[in-house]
Structure formats: C-alpha cells, structure tokens
Structure 1
Amino acid sequence: MFDRWGRWVHRRRRWVLAVAGAVLVFAAVWGTGVFGALTSSGGFETPGSESAKAAQTAEHDLGRDEADVVVLYQGKATVDDPSYRASVEKALAALPSDKVSKTSTYWTTKSPQFVSKDRTATYAVLQLAGADDGARSDGYKAIQDDLTKVGGGLTAKVGGSVGVETAINERVSSDIGRAEGMAMPILLVLLVLIFGGLVSASLPLLIGGLAILGSFTALHALSYVTDVSIFAVNITTFLGLGLAIDYGLFVVSRFREEIARHGAGGVPGGVGGRPPSGGTDGDSVEDALAATMATAGRTVAVSGITVAVSLSGLLLFDQTFLVSMGYGGIATVFVCMAAALTVLPALLAVLGPKVNALSVRRRGGAARSDGWWGRIAHSVMRRPVIYVVATVALLLALGAPLLRINWGGVDAQVLPGGADARVVSESLETRFARNATSPIEAVVTGTSDRAAVQAYGARLDAVPGITGAAVTGSEGTTTRLALTYDADPNSGAARDLVQRVRDVPPPAGAQSHVGGVTADVVDQLGSIGATLPWLALLVGGVTFVLLFLAFGSVLLPLKAIVMNMLSLSATFGAVVLIFQDGHLSGPLGFTATGSISPAMPILMLAMLFGISMDYEVFLLSRVREQYDLTGSNTAAVASGVQRTGAIITSAALLFIVVIGAFATSGITFIKMTGVGMAIAILLDATIVRALLVPATMRLLGRANWWAPGPLARLYGRFGIKEGDSAAPPRTLEPVG
C-alpha cells in the first residue's frame, strides 16, 4: 500500500507541490491570524461540577461578584490620610463607566480586608462591564494604561483575573516568536551535522515550518467551532515542529539509503554511474521513493495515528483546556503526517540523487550490525536480566517522587517574577487578610429564611480552619456566603477544608453549592480521576491494536505499553522534584509554588505516550525487517538497534532542542511541559530504546513475533505491512 503511494506521489510530484504551495500561501495569510482568535487562557474549570454550579447560580441570581481587576495602591502615607483617599478616588472616577460596572474600595465597604497590615497599601476591586469574557477582555485592554495613573505620590499595579489572563496571553504570544527564533538556527546546524549536506538538512526543517503554519491554520479553524485555549498555540507549535522534524528525519534518512541501494545518479549500487539493470535514473528514484514510503512512510503513518489516538483521549475530559488541546493536537499531528507523506516525498522525487548535494562532509558507509550501536545491543543481550532489573529499578526510583505530588490550581504564580499581576497576587497573600479575594463560597438556594441562613453561616464559621463567614449577596431565595481561611488555596489542607464545608448540612429544605478557587481544584481532581481510567483504556487499547496490525505480535504491544508507563512515571517524578519542590528553579527561572495543576500531567501523558511510540515503531520496523530476512531474533535486534540508534538519537536531540526552546517560556506550566517532555524523550531514546528494549526482546526471543492462530490470520489479512513480501507472524516456537 505505502509503496504504491510512493509511486503515485512520484508521478504527480509537481501537482503535489503546486497544491502544497497554494496551501502554504493560505496558511501564511489566514493561519497566522490565530493569535487574534484565541483569547482565553482559562478553561481549567469543570463544567457541571458543584463549584461551577455555585458560580453559575450566584451570577444568575445575584449578579457577578468577580474580582476582574484588582488595582493595588501603595504610598508612603497610610490609608487614613485624606489625600491618600482623594488620590485613589480621583483615579477610579476617571475610568469610563461603560467599561467598569462596579468598584469596591476600603472607603466604600469599610472592610479592613482592603487595608494592608502596615496600612500603607490598599486595593480596589473592579468589575468590568460586558456580556461575556471577550467583551470584558476588550474593555480591560481599553483602560489598561489608565488603571496605573494615580497622583498624590502613590503607585499602582494591576492584577485580578482579567489582568492575569491578559498578561498570560501577551506572554504566550511573545514566547512563540522567541522560541522559534532560538530553535530554527540550532536545528539547521544540527541537521547539517547529522546529514552532512545542506539540501538534505533543509528538508526536515522545511516540513517543520509547514507544520507550524498548518498548526496555526488548524487552530484558527477550530476557534470558529469550539473554545480553544491560548496555550494551545504553544503546545501545538512545539508538538508540530518536533514531530515534523522527526518524521522528516526518518523519511529523508531512509530515502538516502534507498537511493544508494538503487544506484540512481551514480550513487553506489549501479555500474559505472548508471542505474542497475539498465533502468533510468527516474526509475531508480521512483523505486527508492516507493521503498522509502513502504518503510519509513509506514512508520510515520503508524506513529502519527498512535499520537493522534493518544491525544484524542483528551476529548474525554470535561475541562475546556484539555479538550481544546486534544482538538488542536490531533489537527497538528495530521498536518505533520500529511506534510511528511505528500510534500516531503514529492520534494524527494524532484531532487532524486541531488538530495545529497551541497555536502559539507563525506558520508559514512552503510550501517552495519557490528557498529557502535550494534555492539551496545550485543552487550545488553549477553546480560539481559541484569539490564532489565537495573533499568527498571532506575526508572522506578526516578518515579518515586510522583507518589507525593500535590495538586493545585493555575493562578498568577505562573507568570514571571516581577510581572505586575503576579506582584499584586503575592501582595494580597502576604500583606493583607489571606484569601480575601479568593474565599470559599457557599451559595444557598431554596430558602428566604434569613435566620436559617444565618444559622447555617454560623455552622460554617465553626468548621475548623474557617476564620470567618459573611453574607456577600442575597436576593429572594438565594444567598451567597464568603468563608475566609488561612490555608494556602493550593494546599491539601485547603482541599480538605472544602470537603468539610461541603459536609455541613444546608438549611432545611434548601440546597447549598460550595465553590471558589480551591473548590474548583477539588472538582477538577474528581473529574480527572474519574476520566483517567477511560483515557488509559482508550489509549492502551488502540495502541495495542495499531502495534499488532503493524507487527503481528501480541507481546510487543504489551511490552511497549509497560515500558511507556515506566518512562512516564520517571518523567513525572522528575517534574515533581523540579517544579513542585523547586530544584533547578534558579537556572530554569521560575518560582516553585509547591503544587502542580492536574491538567498538565494529563496533557503530557497524552502527548508523550504517542511520541514515545514514534521511536518504538521506527526501531521495531527495522528489527522486524531484519527478522523476516534472517529469522534470528538476536541478529535482528542488534541490526535494528544499529540501523536506528543514530537516527533515533538524532531525532530525540532535535526534538529536545525544539522543546528546550519552548521551555524558556515565561509561563511556568508551559516551561514545565517543555522540560518534562525533554526529560521523557531523553529517557526514551537512551535508557529505554538502547538498553531496555534489546534486553527484553532477548529474553522474549522468538516469542516477540508470536500471535495465536486466529490473530495471525487476522494480521495476514489486515496487517499494516511494509510490502507484499512482509512475512506473517510466526507460530510460537521454543525461546532460546
């Protein structure tokens, strides 16, 4: 199937490139408009949860009571000075009434929570006008500069939910350009060193550029039918660039090998500079491209589908952030696959032997099974038990910190230190009454009995850990109570406190929904925990089926899934050490908060599970190819490791460069995703592929390729084979 596709592309290469050029122009013009289409940095909430119902009920019955904007004022005098008050009120009065619907200050509320402990600072809470988040965001941008204008020797800094969101959005947009500017030159240099020629080195980079524009176009299109998080731009960009370069590396490397084997254009394999068997250069290029698509093209297709399936698991979750990442990621993967299976082979068909042009160093000979990587494989397979025990123990040890992970929400702490929105957030936590702008809220519905509500509030106030309960809104049969507390909102103690508050029975005949920042994290954890088994079932099941159809084995897919889980656990353990505990926070430039958002490991799990299969499929394809030729499991594994070791290492290095550039992001959890993925890819390309895979395949022996009779016949009929000559799976033989 794939060899026929290669021949089809070769014969229509100019048409393929013409269509690709038109798509490229469209993507460059329309796709880059994605930055204006994605406006939300939220989406971490859980629709339908108790905290969501609390927020929706309160807004519907009592009106919005959100701290959209918090303006922090600081002076040398105290808030008791009349000039201090006059300066603040004058600054707030100058704001347009069509942008700000409500303003709360110390002087309008008489609440001491608005005054710092030293009484030299205060803050104003602004609710923005607008029917939806987009309108309020636009309103904020219109008055953003005016918010910091204040006289009387005071200074003003701006935070709040909309302020934080805007700061994050602006940082995400600037991070994209910087990361691409950092990555592209490094990638070009590395590709030249890997391939030894400028032409061949430029092809994966070209496919990477196409993938970026294609990702932007896909996200822009998705924004018309569903909410898409602004963070999807970062994630899909480095995912698309990394996958496209990986796929380009696999395809170009195999094509150069096939060109040499088929002897086109005077490359060894022909006689006297002529193609073998009296054929023409065009015939040899077509044969080489067909063989490339039958092998590397098949690998790209299986890998891409596996990555897409892994990302499709994100669609099972309730959180908009994860769902939008799923849609964007799936679209990005298919863009990469399309580019690697159409545009790249068309370019190779045009170039032919000229793919080796503009060489900067002499190419080495063909890979041998007794090369450096082959010797490593033989060494491992002589002591398979020792290597399996040692590598599994190492991965489990690296994963141990995962057992003490502490979950938390996403707030201003994800911004770089010194950002105004973060300074405001930190000041509110350290200089004012704690959690004043992020209380636990209990929304009571179904009763107008004020005495019963007051009694309920008293019971809530008596819950250990609650420092105060106050009615902040009442209309008809709905009342909102704000509960203050001293615990860190992202701590386990705060989550336990939410549960204790929820355990307090509401007034007779009434209902109570408990919400707030911490309650939202509690609900998010519950929702993700309930969905996670379905994600595992979907990804594990489909991965098993795809790998079985690719290799006709029952044991290899199971082994691959287990190894993936070991590698992922080690990765998440390292993430806990770095981003929760704060190790390397200085060199990496972030402030550890002691917690990790539960959405991020889920996103990393979906991406990494698929990406690691990329290298697995590439390696096993070569091993299976050699096994079908020789029938020797040990020789096939050594040859497969030797022939793919350098390419997998190079692909991993290139992917790490891409991800490393995005790990410089000023947004902490984007940085965490980049660093975590870099660690995972490093582990996968070294410890797993070079050591654990050869050791386990040696222990399994010929059982690697076994399938029961009915499944063997199923593979023979429906298997995704490299060509018509692919051998069917063997029946189980004694393992030796």
Structure 2
Amino acid sequence: MVRFVVRRHRAVLVVAGVLAVLAGLASTTLFGKLQGGGYFDPSAESSTAADALRDHFGQGAPNLVLLVDDAGRTVDDAESTHAATELVRRLQAEPDISGVMSYWTSGHLPALRDKSGRQGLIVATIMGDEMRIDHRIADLAPEFGGTHDGIEVRVGGYAMMMHETVQQGQRDVAAGEAVAFPLTLIALLVVFGTVVGAALPLITGTVTTMLTMGVLWLLAEFTELSSTATNVASLLGLGLAIDYSLLIVNRYREELATAADPRAALITTMGSAGRTVAFSALTVAVALSSMLIFPLLAVRSIGYAGIAVALTAAVVSLTVLPAILLVAGDRIDRFRIGRKRVSDSDSRALDQGFWHRLATMVMRRPIPVATVTVALLLALGLPFLRFHPGFPDYRSMPAGSSARQVAETVQRDFDAAELSGLFVVLPDSNAGVAEYAVALSSLDDVARVDTATGSYIGGALAIPATTAHHRFETGDAAYLSVVPTTTDPRTVDAVIRAVRATPAPSRALVGGVDAANMDAIHALTARAPFALGFVVIAMALLLLLLTGSVLVPVLALILSALSLTATFGALVWIFQEGRLSGLLGFTPTGDLSAVVPVMLFAVAFGLAMDYQVFLLARIREEYENTGDATASVAIGLERIGRIVTAAAVLISIVFLGFLASDITFMKAFGIGLPLAVLADATVVRGFLLPATLRLGGRWTWWAPRPLRRLHTRFGLRESSAAPAEVAAVSA
C-alpha cells in the first residue's frame, strides 16, 4: 500500500476528499434510518408474547400517552368532554393505531384521571416495528400535541421517549464534536508545538468521522441500526484517528530528522508505525465485534459502528495521512508555537527521561509495586459488587423532554401502575381462564387481573364480565392484564417471576415493557460469558501472532482487564448511587443501565489492547536490538511513553464530548471511557507493565520455534523497512 500512496498521493487525496464529501451528504439522512429503541431481545418470551397479542388481538402494549389538561376546569366539564372525545375520535381514525382508551370514552376509569380531577389521559398503541412506530410518532406528536378546543395536550409514552432519544442523539453528536474539536486542537498544539503538525490528526479525524457516517448510512440500507451507533461512531472515530495519526506523525518527524528525503522518511515510518496502526485497529475491531453476539439491536449497533470506525480510521491513517505528509514534506514543523520540542531522536540519553526512570524504579521492586497496584485497582472496583442492572426509562431523558414531563406527571398524579401492567397471552386455548385469573390475582403485589371473564382482586371475582372485557378473548385465544400494586422496578420484577412460575391451563406468554426489560437483562448476562470468551481467545491468538511470545498475551489480557476495575466501580458509585448527579446533571435511578458495562467493556478493553500493542511493539523492538529483557522495557517505554500518554489524554478529551449528552447512559460513557483509558495509560503502563515484564524476564518473550518462525514472517515489529525496500519504493 505504501508504494501506491507514495506514487499516487495526490490522486489519493482527491478520491478521499470526494468520498468524504459524498459520505457527509449521505449522512444528513442517516438519522431518518435509525431506531430509538433496540433494547429488547427479539427471541425472548416477552417478544413472542407481543407478537401473539398483535396477531390474535390486533393489540399491543400501550406506547402512546396523551396528557390532557383542562386548563382550570375539571375533566368532567362538558366543553372538556366534547374536546377530548373529538380528540379520541381523530386518534382512532389514524392508521396503525389500536387499543385507544381514555377517561371520557372508557367508562370514566379512575386510573385515567388525576387526583385533582383536572387532567385526564388518552392511552393507545402504535402498531408496527420500531422503525414504523418512530415514523408514526413523528407525525402524530405535532398533530395531537398543543392546544385543541381549549384543552392542552402533551405527548408522551414509550414511543415518544424512543423518538426523542433519536432526536437527542442527533443534537448530542453535534454538541460532542463542538466540545471535542477545540479542546483537542489545543492539546495537539501542546503535544506537537506546531500548527501544521497539530492540524494533521484533526484532518485525519474529520475525514474518518465523515467516512464512517457514510459507512453507517450504507449499513442502515441493509440492516437495522440504533441511534446509539452515531454517538459512538462520531467520537470514537475522531479519537482513534487522532491516536493513529499521533503515532505516525511522531515517527515521521523522528525519521525526517535523520533522512534527507521526506519520501524515504515516510516509507520507513509506514514500515514500522504503519504496521502497528494496522494491527492496533484490528485489535479494536475484534474487541468490538464481540457486541454482535448479543441479540439487542442497541448493543449490536455499537458493534457495527465500532468495527466500521476502527477499520476506517486505519485505512485513512494508512492512506490519506501519508499522502498529506508527502505534500507537507519537511514543512510539518512550520508555524512553531513556543520552544522547540525535544524528540526521541535528539542526542539526549534515553536513561534521562521520565518513563525510563519510572520503569527502572518499578523494576527494582516489582513484587511490592505489583501487589500494591493490583490491590488499589481492585479496591476501587469494589462498588461494582453492588451493581444492579436496569434499563433506561424516562428519568434518563433531559428535563425538557415531552416524554419525561408526561411520565413524571403520570407518576406523581395518577395511579401509574394501571398504565404499566403486564399481559399474559394464552394463544392456544381459552379454557381455564377464570381459574388462572384467580390464581394470578392471589399473588403478592398484584392489584387486579382483567380478562374475558371479568376482573379479579385478591383471588376472587370483583367485577363480572362486561362489554369492555370482550376484547380479552377471540376465537380459541385469550389474554389477561395483570396490574401490579406499584411501579417500583424490583417489585414488578418479582411479580413477573411469580406470574411466570404460576401454572397455566395452556401455553402462557408473559409480556409488557417491564417483562421485556427483564428478558433483555437476562439476554445480556447469559451472552456475556460467550462475548468475554470470544474476546479473550481472539486477543490471545492475535497477540500470540503479533508478539511471538506465549506469556505476553496472557499479561496483556490481565492488565487490560485490571484497568477496567476502577472504571466499573466508579460507574456504580456515580451513576447507580447518584454521588455526582448534581454536578453532572442527571437523575439517579438506583440502578445502572445494563448495556453500559457491556458496551464500555468492549470499547475500553479494545482501546486498552490498542495501547498495549503500541507499547509491546516498541519494547519488543528494543529487546530484539539489545537482548536485555530489563533494559528493553525501560528504553521502550521511554521511546514511546510520551506519545502513548499524549494519545491517551487526547482520546480522553474526545470522549469527554459524551458528557455534552443530555441522556444519562451516554454521560456514563463520558466518565467511564476516559477513566479506563487514563487508568491504563498511567497506573497500568507506568507500574504494572514494567513490574510484570521484569518478573517474567527473558521468559516474557519465549515462544516455541514454529511460533517464532510465524512471527518472523507475519509478526508485529517497530523495526524500520530495509534500505533496499526504501530505495526501490522511492525510485
């Protein structure tokens, strides 16, 4: 590839520019292809129940709520009743709408009127898949929200929350980039000390982000994608591109100081740092591909976006950036800011640097240092033992969200449990429904059970069947509505488990939003060991090939995992327990979104392995040059320590852009990812890595002869390209 880029570098820049512009234009319609949900397991019992409820009864769990405020009058006022009834009639006439209920047209149910009698509810179901639901709510919200014949209407419900999540995600991408770009530019100016040098990583990052959005646009044509993909793609793409650019540009400046010809310097750079970037991107892509094991669309979308980001960042860094470097030539250090930077190629002795001194100090006492460091990381991770998984609800949305405002009002002023009940579908037979309803209504924390034979409370028939109960039965199928006594998530979970454990007269399927959340958490926890096993095996094999060592992959995996312990502990301490909720501006819920640790593990573990590749490649090179297992660690860390530190700081600054999001679980990325990266770049790299490599000694790099031959042919190394190759390509 380097030969082609050197000889056709201007054509490469033109093609890259055209593709970036086209991708940018295409991405303007990307959000119209994305879904706001994706947190349900399509193979779970709750999903099968939802399908059965739709197929047999043409109904679904309520996902649209219209909150009607009579502006000072009561809901029973004649004018209000007329206006609300007309609103119900219009809603019933809309396509894809079923199960419309309201205080005014459903027998004046107390659950649909607030305690003051001044507000009422219209509840309905938007039928269809999540994409269809999102499109319909986008049409319905402006039509039904606002003032209608003197009544004020606000739109809420699960469908509205998911729609607003997509919209908020679009705003968050712009806000995150607005925060990340200027801060990153300032940091790059500090690192490089020149305007030209600092601009190159940002140019690479911009091109990477635009191309990645174009790739996601193409993916959305062939598969479903969640809106979470864009947030990750935008900031992760910028961060990885800057990391890879930093490594290549720094090595190019080193080579340029000793080579008269910029082409020769570039070829040498790409034969060393370029190969490191390629393998580093592969490790990130492999780690993020583990997300494809999970059935939840939101999690799989992170996997799709992460793979696209890593590979795109590598391609741009290995083609566009070298082409720009050829154009810049030796002008890369123009427009210097401040004093001249001291580089690794200067005459200063390597043993005078900070990283060399730190590594030497650690390796004098490796066992105490390793013991204290591991104990500290594990102690910081202890709060994760209190982890309670949950799923985002209205409290994760910003205060101005219509869905949140409606949900808070319903929670405060209405009997909210009526609107968050479960449903149990008996798709094969309606025999024994009455006895089954009696059993279910006898369960703890069940307020009422409604079905075709009436309403049951406390194990007895409370309301005989009326016309309103006919909707619970059709042909040979029936379903039951189970209303809990509270909306408390843990109590509702206990009710779901009790309902599923109660013997049914025929096949019974339990569904509802809370049941779907429980099933999704189960899917995540059940698949997590497989995803973890995939990452461990894939990374071990990859590092085995790349380093030519048996022990190094084991050490790298353990160290990368340890770097996450403090992060997971901090997530529980901050977001589940709400310690910094006032400072960060979110509402604590007593649980942590179950997708956050899963997603964070894949991204942060991939980045940790990314930096391990950077470091181990340079240390391996020094070991091959000197044969001294101890000195090679100190020299290797000194040579690349400043650059990896700068890369970690820069990508952490980029990830802080997640804090600009008004969605709580996206803020968790803005805290978790920088913590994980900085812990790996400081505590793990500065203390644990030198200590463990010192304890391993020469055995660290041992490998059987076949593996050594394989590594010689295909393995990762930071050694420069052979002079003959440089001459041939430069010609």
TM-score calculated relative to the size of structure 2: 0.91
- 1:182 aligned to which of 161, 166, 179: 179
- Distance, in Å, in 2 between the alignment partners of 1:370 and 1:626 is 17
- Distance, in Å, in 1 between the alignment partners of 2:115 and 2:498 is 29
- Distance, in Å, in 2 between the alignment partners of 1:724 and 1:687 is 30
- Distance, in Å, in 1 between the alignment partners of 2:334 and 2:690 is 36
> Would the aligned equivalents of 2:425 and 2:480 in 1 still touch at CA under 8 Å?
yes
For each residue in 1:438-458, what CA deviation from the matched residue of structure 2 results, as whole angstroms up to 9, or x when unmatched?
Answer: 212211122232xx1011011
1:585-600 matches, within 5 Å, as 585-600=581-596
- Name the SS of the counterpart of 1:261 in structure 2: coil
For each residue in 1:148-181, what CA deviation from the matched residue of structure 2 results, as whole angstroms up to 9, or x when unmatched?
Answer: 3336765332101221122111111111112112
- Distance, in Å, in 2 between the alignment partners of 1:543 and 1:156 is 54
Hey, which bits of structure 1, 4+ residues long, moved more than 6 A? none
- Distance, in Å, in 1 between the alignment partners of 2:224 and 2:351 is 51
Q: Is the counterpart of residue 323 in structure 1 residue 300 in structure 2?
A: yes
Q: CA deviation at 1:419?
A: 1.9
Q: CA deviation at 1:8?
A: 4.0
> Would the aligned equivalents of 2:50 and 2:60 in 1 still touch at CA under 8 Å?
no
Q: Counterpart of 1:504 in structure 2: which amino acid?
A: T
> Would the aligned equivalents of 2:276 and 2:614 in 1 still touch at CA under 8 Å?
yes
Q: CA deviation at 1:260?
A: 0.9
- Name the SS of the counterpart of 1:244 in structure 2: helix
1:299-318 matches, within 5 Å, as 299-318=276-295
Partner residue of 2:250?
A: 253
Partner residue of 2:455?
A: none
Q: CA deviation at 1:667?
A: 1.1
Partner residue of 2:52?
A: 57
Partner residue of 2:728?
A: none
Q: Counterpart of 1:363 in structure 2: which amino acid?
A: K
- Distance, in Å, in 1 between the alignment partners of 2:671 and 2:487 is 26
- Name the SS of the counterpart of 2:123 in structure 1: strand
Partner residue of 2:329?
A: 352
For each residue in 1:370-422, what CA deviation from the matched residue of structure 2 results, as whole angstroms up to 9, or x when unmatched?
Answer: 21222122222222122211111111111111111111122222211242210
> Would the aligned equivalents of 1:580 and 1:596 in 2 still touch at CA under 8 Å?
yes
Q: Counterpart of 2:362 in structure 1: which amino acid?
A: V
> Would the aligned equivalents of 1:32 and 1:217 in 2 still touch at CA under 8 Å?
no
Q: Is the counterpart of residue 468 in structure 1 residue 448 in structure 2?
A: yes
- Distance, in Å, in 2 between the alignment partners of 1:722 and 1:443 is 62
CA separation of 1:484 and 1:635: change in aligned 2, threshold 3 A: same
Q: Counterpart of 1:105 in structure 2: which amino acid?
A: S
Partner residue of 1:490?
A: 489
CA separation of 1:94 and 1:480: change in aligned 2, threshold 3 A: closer
1:8-407 matches, within 5 Å, as 8-38=4-34, 40-75=35-70, 76-93=72-89, 97-99=93-95, 101-102=97-98, 103-110=100-107, 111-128=109-126, 132-150=129-147, 154-262=151-259, 264=260, 281=261, 285-367=262-344, 368-407=350-389
Q: CA deviation at 1:96?
A: 8.3
- Distance, in Å, in 2 between the alignment partners of 1:563 and 1:392 is 9
Partner residue of 2:541?
A: 545
CA separation of 1:725 and 1:706: change in aligned 2, threshold 3 A: farther
- Distance, in Å, in 2 between the alignment partners of 1:501 and 1:429 is 24
> Would the aligned equivalents of 2:659 and 2:666 in 1 still touch at CA under 8 Å?
yes
- Distance, in Å, in 2 between the alignment partners of 1:630 and 1:79 is 85
For each residue in 1:492-516, what CA deviation from the matched residue of structure 2 results, as whole angstroms up to 9, or x when unmatched?
Answer: x432321121011111xx1101111
1:673-692 matches, within 5 Å, as 673-692=669-688
CA separation of 1:138 and 1:17: change in aligned 2, threshold 3 A: same
> Would the aligned equivalents of 1:409 and 1:517 in 2 still touch at CA under 8 Å?
no
CA separation of 1:100 and 1:23: change in aligned 2, threshold 3 A: closer
- Distance, in Å, in 1 between the alignment partners of 2:28 and 2:716 is 36
- Distance, in Å, in 2 between the alignment partners of 1:546 and 1:88 is 64
Greater CA drift, 96-105 or 67-76: 96-105
Q: Counterpart of 1:186 in structure 2: which amino acid?
A: L
- 1:614 aligned to which of 610, 618, 621: 610
- Name the SS of the counterpart of 1:224 in structure 2: helix
Note the residue ranges of structure 1 that are not aligned, 5 or more in a row: 265-280, 727-736
Q: Counterpart of 1:678 in structure 2: which amino acid?
A: P
RMSD over equivalenced CA pairs, Å: 2.1
Greater CA drift, 673-682 or 356-365: 356-365
- Distance, in Å, in 2 between the alignment partners of 1:634 and 1:32 is 53
Q: Counterpart of 1:500 in structure 2: which amino acid?
A: A
Q: Counterpart of 1:591 in structure 2: which amino acid?
A: T
- Distance, in Å, in 2 between the alignment partners of 1:331 and 1:582 is 34
Query: How many residue pairs align between the two structures?
Result: 695
- 1:526 aligned to which of 514, 522, 528: 522
Greater CA drift, 85-94 or 685-694: 85-94
> Would the aligned equivalents of 1:32 and 1:216 in 2 still touch at CA under 8 Å?
no
Q: CA deviation at 1:259?
A: 0.7
For each residue in 1:168-204, what CA deviation from the matched residue of structure 2 results, as whole angstroms up to 9, or x when unmatched?
Answer: 1111111111211221111111111110101111010
Q: Counterpart of 1:148 in structure 2: which amino acid?
A: G
- Distance, in Å, in 2 between the alignment partners of 1:123 and 1:475 is 27
Q: CA deviation at 1:722?
A: 4.1
Q: CA deviation at 1:136?
A: 4.0
Partner residue of 1:417?
A: 399
> Would the aligned equivalents of 1:473 and 1:480 in 2 still touch at CA under 8 Å?
yes
CA separation of 1:551 and 1:22: change in aligned 2, threshold 3 A: same
> Would the aligned equivalents of 1:434 and 1:485 in 2 still touch at CA under 8 Å?
no
CA separation of 1:101 and 1:523: change in aligned 2, threshold 3 A: closer
Partner residue of 2:568?
A: 572
